[in-house]
A and B are shown apart, each in its own frame.
Chain A
Amino acid sequence: MYGYYLALALRSLKRSRVLTALMVLAIGLGIGASMTMITVLHAMSGDPLPGRSDQLYVPQLDPRPLPRGGASGAPAGNLPDSLTWPDAMALLRARRADRQAAMSGGSVPVRPAQAGQHPFFERGHYVTADFFPMFATPFRAGSGWNEQDDVDRARVVVLNAGLAQRLFGAAPAIGRTVRLKDTDFRVIGVLDDWHPQPAFYARIDDRAFGQADQFFLPLQTALDLRFNFSGDLRCWGSGGDNRRSDHCTWLQFWVQLDSQARAQAYRAFLADYWRDQQAHGRFPRPVEARLYGLTDWLAHEHLIPADLHLQLWLALGFLGVCMVNIVGLLLAKFLRRRGEICVRRALGARQRDIFVQFGMEAAVIGLAGGVLGLALAQLGLWSVRQRPDGYAQLAHMDPAMLLGTFMLAVAASVLAGLLPAWRACDIPPAMQLKTP
């Protein structure tokens, strides 16, 4: 039966080639545009640290003065994204989480020891000891440093695979010396090309995707040596823009909490810390400490640029118009075959049979549109990969998305065929048979 309907559908589609081509083109364009954007957003929403991400949290505090003119009971709105130096150090020393680390990004000139090699800038992170075990960074050789090294402002560095290769080639890097800016550092660890996508632990900006930090060194060492810090330094009040002051936020802070109960306890601890600071004349705003899980944090920080969301909505709107277009065309097409429908109904076909027959025709268009859409989506993804953005390289289709494309195409066209097919099977058989 279904084979027969399929043959009927193909014959009907062949009869009006141009119209069929137009419908396939419309659904192909709509599907292609939508799937390109859905794939890009799907790739960008991946878990940067599978297995560990649901234990990682970001605490948020607000040491700023009361908003101008605002009453003390007014809602605070957005809290600063980062912490001040004294607050980060206090949370670090309190050790109320299973692990905790403060960090900030920066770039330093790297000076290769070999003659003939020019110095170059490299991006990395200044972090505290727990960074490596907390994020389970894979070490190719060596290890991170301990808390004593932090306190001692040790001149040690962990390199990522790329920089280690560039500086030392295939030779082991552990124990070697690398000159950063004007200071020698001892290499104590080499990471196995660690580049979580996105670089979730950094300040979320347009470099979150694509970049891989090439070195990690102790935060206090970097501050002592006046290394260059990147990111946002926000100060208020007077008294200069000193990084160690309690009126400049600039540090990212992450904690690992192994259970929900621990997370709840940490929330309470943050609120207590806030109240304690209030007792010391800081934190004038009402207590509103927050603790974000990793995925919530990335959403909160608008990891995915608004432009990409807009592009997705545009593509979906386009698909919507294409579908309305196809509904109209199919309806006109089906209703023109009243005569045929009535003859079939008179010969004993049930309404259901007519419905399935026309549904089949819509599905065939959907399948063809799906193939075209897939080709167009690959073209679209290729063009996305040509963009010079970090996320561009993630724009690939996995098998799930491939299947999804077909499902979407067939679902869209069957959906578009529903109304026309229902109208077609609703025609009373006697009516059309009477006309000449």
Chain B
Amino acid sequence: MPRIPMLASLTRHKLTVLLLALQVALTCAIVCNVALMIAGRTAQMRWPSGVAEDELVMLDSASLDGGNPLARHAADLAALRGIPGVTAVAAVDALPFNRNNWSNGIATVPNGPSRLAATAFNGTPGELRALGLRLVAGRDFRPDEYVPMDSAHDWDGINHVAATVVTRALAARLFPGQDPLGKLVYPGDKPVRIVGVIDHLLRPMLETGGGNEDAMLFPMLPDESNVTYVLRTAPSQRQRVLKEAAAVLQQLDADRILRHAQTFGQLRSDYFRHDRTMLGLLLAAACGLLLVTAVGIAGLASFWVQQRRRAIGIRRAVGASRRDILRYFQAENALIVGGGLLPGVLLALGLNLLLMGHYELPRLPLAYLPIAALALWLLGQLAVLGPALRAAAVPPVVATRTD
């Protein structure tokens, strides 16, 4: 292949070549970072919550009369348990994705500094089974361990509770490399013993920084007038159970407001609404960028083909095959796109650094770069194929004509 003439030809269009390379570089930089954002958001949207997502339905009940909340919750739960198809129920205050976050600073020595803030999940006996949490070590709470949350006195229950079940992730953060069972933690004034470890449980609100499984369950009975009832049932029964639950509660006591009756799937989907919008926009931006770049490459290539018809004809006349012409334009494109990819990769890293400072973006994994480069290079080849084929079709007789 005639490399030197190709370079000579490119230097005659220095500015155009430079612009095309610049476009490829910018596209590479932006698409790399957009791909990173897409990967990050999709990963977050797929995080397992730890609960039996396909089997849960829930609704919030706010009572308006001033009666004893503990007694009413017990009566409500008994009635909800009677609905056909319901395998377990619980009254809880927090759930993954429900944004109701009560965090306590956790110390591991008395009156010590708090090591981290962990979300307290409180509920009635049977919460583990109702939510479908998987116990990997230790035990569930015993009936005698339950105390009221005492929300009327600034949630004083946290100072009286004696047992907790923590997530495996939280246990590893508090006691790295040790057996967490039996260890004491201090979320309030009194020591609390870790009696069990569960596999996973996400906090009600996620953060990008990590610590999203810093969750602990307490045997504390919710005693606010507003409470969330969780019902576990077969996936196919969910809508019916939800309807019946609302009817049962309304019938038991009409002086209440029922809200947020939904399946866990709806709760999750609602939580990630913004991320889905953003994901769509990111995808559209990436596709738009690639499209515009491909169009630019194809447009310029077809210009050059038109401009060089005579040159192509002469080369054909002196013995170049169609394949040679095709190869020439493909090689030329590979050269230009390749020339843009080198600064593009550096630009991608620079842009990543800039975004890391402003938008909590993680560092760009180096594996992205060769993949993006290869993708753009292939895109360039695809875009140039049409004009190159047209160039290859130029008959040698063109050489004899003057225009």
Residues of chain A whose beta carbon lies under 8 Å from any beta carbon of chain B: 19, 22, 25-26, 29, 33, 68, 109, 111, 118-121, 181-182, 226, 228, 238, 240-242, 306-307, 309-311, 314-315, 317-318, 320-322, 324-325, 327-329, 331-333, 335-336, 387-389, 419, 423, 436
Do residues A333 and B303 form an inter-chain contact, with CB atoms below 8 A? yes
Which chain B residues lie closer than 8 Å to A226 at the CB level? 152
Top 4 A-B pairs, shortest CB-CB distance: A328-B19, A325-B296, A240-B154, A332-B303
* B82 on the A face (CB < 8 A): no
* B47 on the A face (CB < 8 A): no
Which chain A residues lie closer than 8 Å to B278 at the CB level? 307, 310-311
A-B contact pairs, 9 of them (CB 8 A): A22-B295, A26-B292, A309-B359, A310-B359, A324-B19, A324-B22, A325-B23, A327-B19, A331-B16
Do residues A241 and B299 form an inter-chain contact, with CB atoms below 8 A? no
Which chain B residues lie closer than 8 Å to A322 at the CB level? 292
Do residues A325 and B281 form an inter-chain contact, with CB atoms below 8 A? no
Measured in the bound complex, the distance between the Cα atoms of B153 and A324 in whole Å is: 65
Q: Which of A19, A182, A318 contacts B299 (CB 8 A)?
A: A19
Per-position binary interface string of chain B over residues 291-307, scored 1 when its CB falls under 8 Å from any chain A CB and 0 otherwise: 01101100110011011
Rounded to whole Å, the gap between the CB of A64 and the closest CB of chain B is 13
The interface stretch among B61-69, B71-79, B368-376 is: B61-69
Q: Can you name the residue of chain B whose Cβ is closest to the Cβ of A228?
A: B226
Rounded to whole Å, the gap between the CB of B59 and the closest CB of chain A is 14
Given contacts A109-B62, A332-B303, A436-B402, contact A317 B292 (CB under 8 A): no
Rounded to whole Å, the gap between the CB of A334 and the closest CB of chain B is 10
Residues of chain B whose beta carbon lies under 8 Å from any beta carbon of chain A: 13, 15-16, 19-20, 22-23, 26-27, 30, 34, 37, 62, 64-66, 113, 152-156, 159, 188-189, 226, 255-257, 259, 273-274, 277-278, 281-282, 285, 288-289, 292-293, 295-296, 299-300, 303-304, 306-307, 358-360, 402
Which chain A residues lie closer than 8 Å to B259 at the CB level? 121
Do residues A321 and B277 form an inter-chain contact, with CB atoms below 8 A? no
Rounded to whole Å, the gap between the CB of B371 and the closest CB of chain A is 20
Q: Can you name the residue of chain A whose Cβ is closest to the Cβ of B273?
A: A388
Which chain B residues lie closer than 8 Å to A423 at the CB level? 15
Which chain B residues lie closer than 8 Å to A119 at the CB level? 64, 255-257
Which chain A residues lie closer than 8 Å to B274 at the CB level? 307, 389
Q: Can you name the residue of chain B whose Cβ is closest to the Cβ of A420?
A: B15
Which chain B residues lie closer than 8 Å to A307 at the CB level? 274, 278
Do residues B30 and A317 form an inter-chain contact, with CB atoms below 8 A? yes
Q: Which of A25, A33, A328 contacts B20 (CB 8 A)?
A: A328
Which chain A residues lie closer than 8 Å to B304 at the CB level? 332
Do residues B62 and A121 form an inter-chain contact, with CB atoms below 8 A? yes
Rounded to whole Å, the gap between the CB of B195 and the closest CB of chain A is 24
Which chain B residues lie closer than 8 Å to A419 at the CB level? 15
Measured in the bound complex, the distance between the Cα atoms of B293 and A284 in whole Å is: 58
Which chain B residues lie closer than 8 Å to A336 at the CB level? 303, 306-307
Which chain B residues lie closer than 8 Å to A25 at the CB level? 295
Do residues A320 and B26 form an inter-chain contact, with CB atoms below 8 A? yes
Given contacts A307-B274, A320-B26, contact A121 B288 (CB under 8 A): no
Do residues B257 and A121 form an inter-chain contact, with CB atoms below 8 A? yes
Which label, helix, strand, loop or mixed, suits the secondary structure of the B interface?
A: helix
Which chain B residues lie closer than 8 Å to A181 at the CB level? 64
Q: Can you name the residue of chain A whose Cβ is closest to the Cβ of B360?
A: A306
Rounded to whole Å, the gap between the CB of B172 and the closest CB of chain A is 22
Q: Can you name the residue of chain B whose Cβ is closest to the Cβ of A19?
A: B299
Which chain A residues lie closer than 8 Å to B277 at the CB level? 387
Measured in the bound complex, the distance between the Cα atoms of B255 and A109 in whole Å is: 11
Which chain B residues lie closer than 8 Å to A389 at the CB level? 274
Q: A241-B154, A321-B289 are in contact. List 13 more A-B contacts (CB 8 A).
A: A33-B288, A182-B64, A240-B154, A241-B155, A314-B281, A318-B292, A324-B22, A324-B296, A327-B19, A332-B299, A336-B307, A387-B277, A389-B274
Which chain B residues lie closer than 8 Å to A325 at the CB level? 23, 292-293, 295-296
Q: Can you name the residue of chain B whose Cβ is closest to the Cβ of A436?
A: B402
Do residues B285 and A109 form an inter-chain contact, with CB atoms below 8 A? no
Which chain A residues lie closer than 8 Å to B19 at the CB level? 324, 327-328, 331
Measured in the bound complex, the distance between the Cα atoms of B107 and A398 in whole Å is: 55
Given contacts A119-B257, A307-B278, A329-B296, contact A321 B20 (CB under 8 A): no
Which chain B residues lie closer than 8 Å to A311 at the CB level? 278, 281
Which chain A residues lie closer than 8 Å to B285 at the CB level? 33, 314-315, 318
Q: Can you name the residue of chain B whose Cβ is closest to the Cβ of A37?
A: B281
Q: Can you name the residue of chain B whose Cβ is closest to the Cβ of A324?
A: B23
Do residues B257 and A109 form an inter-chain contact, with CB atoms below 8 A? yes
Measured in the bound complex, the distance between the Cα atoms of B281 and A419 in whole Å is: 32
Which chain B residues lie closer than 8 Å to A329 at the CB level? 296, 299-300, 303
Do residues A26 and B295 form an inter-chain contact, with CB atoms below 8 A? yes
Q: Can you name the residue of chain A whose Cβ is closest to the Cβ of B255?
A: A119
Q: Can you name the residue of chain B whose Cβ is closest to the Cβ of A388?
A: B273
Which chain B residues lie closer than 8 Å to A22 at the CB level? 295, 299
Measured in the bound complex, the distance between the Cα atoms of B296 and A178 in whole Å is: 67
Given contacts A238-B189, A314-B34, contact A29 B15 (CB under 8 A): no
Do residues B26 and A321 form an inter-chain contact, with CB atoms below 8 A? yes
Which chain A residues lie closer than 8 Å to B23 at the CB level? 321, 324-325, 328
Measured in the bound complex, the distance between the Cα atoms of B381 and A132 in whole Å is: 67
Q: Which of B26, B113, B282 contacts A68 (CB 8 A)?
A: B113
Do residues B402 and A318 form an inter-chain contact, with CB atoms below 8 A? no
Which chain A residues lie closer than 8 Å to B27 at the CB level? 321
Q: Can you name the residue of chain B whose Cβ is closest to the Cβ of A311?
A: B281
Given contacts A29-B292, A318-B285, A329-B299, contact A182 B66 (CB under 8 A): yes
Q: Can you name the residue of chain A whose Cβ is closest to the Cβ of B62?
A: A109
Rounded to whole Å, the gap between the CB of B19 and the closest CB of chain A is 4
Measured in the bound complex, the distance between the Cα atoms of B285 and A315 in whole Å is: 8
Given contacts A19-B299, A423-B15, contact A29 B288 (CB under 8 A): yes
Measured in the bound complex, the distance between the Cα atoms of B258 and A120 in whole Å is: 9
Q: Can you name the residue of chain B whose Cβ is closest to the Cβ of A317?
A: B30
Q: Can you name the residue of chain B whose Cβ is closest to the Cβ of A242?
A: B154
Do residues A120 and B30 form an inter-chain contact, with CB atoms below 8 A? no
Measured in the bound complex, the distance between the Cα atoms of B289 and A320 in whole Å is: 10
Which chain A residues lie closer than 8 Å to B34 at the CB level? 314
The residue in A29, A120, A241, A387 that gathers the most chain B C-beta atoms within 10 A of its C-beta is A241
